[in-house]
Amino acid sequence: MTTYQPTSEVALTTISVGLDLLVKKEGVKVTVNAEELAETFKQYYVNQIFHNRQSLAMEFGDAKIKFELTVESLDHAVIGAGAEAAAAANRSEFGMVTLLL
């Protein structure tokens, strides 16, 4: 079996997601560690292909907090291009979360 190796055209350098509680309880404040949340996101969604404005749900932490996530932007690496071309070319409508091991 051949393993798919994403190119720089689909492998993401940055994914920005909006975050909201899936179920809101009045008067309840929730605090999360952003680094732990980012690591959990990568573990849940490695090799997942996303597109802009995509919505998804995710559980997090021992309390099983449920979040609604919305993909806000996706950036790719642009190799061998000048700074202006790179800035224009790295925004995309879709991309794949990958992990470097």
The per-residue pLDDT for range 36-81, each reduced to its tens digit, is 998 999 888 888 888 889 999 999 988 788 999 999 988 876 665 5
CATH number of 12-96: 3.10.330.10
Question: What are 52's two structure tokens?
Answer: 């802009």
The Cα–Cα gap between 18 and 6 comes to: 25
Pairwise pLDDT comparison (35 vs 85), residue with the higher score = 35
Q: Please state the pTM of the whole predicted model.
A: 0.69
Model pLDDT for residues 74-86, shown as the tens digit of each residue = 887 666 555 555 5
Decide if 26 contacts 92 (C-beta within 8 A): no
pLDDT confidence tier of residue 101, bands split at 50, 70 and 90: very low
User: Which one-letter DSSP state was computed for residue 91?
Assistant: B
Question: What are 30's two structure tokens?
Answer: 């929730």
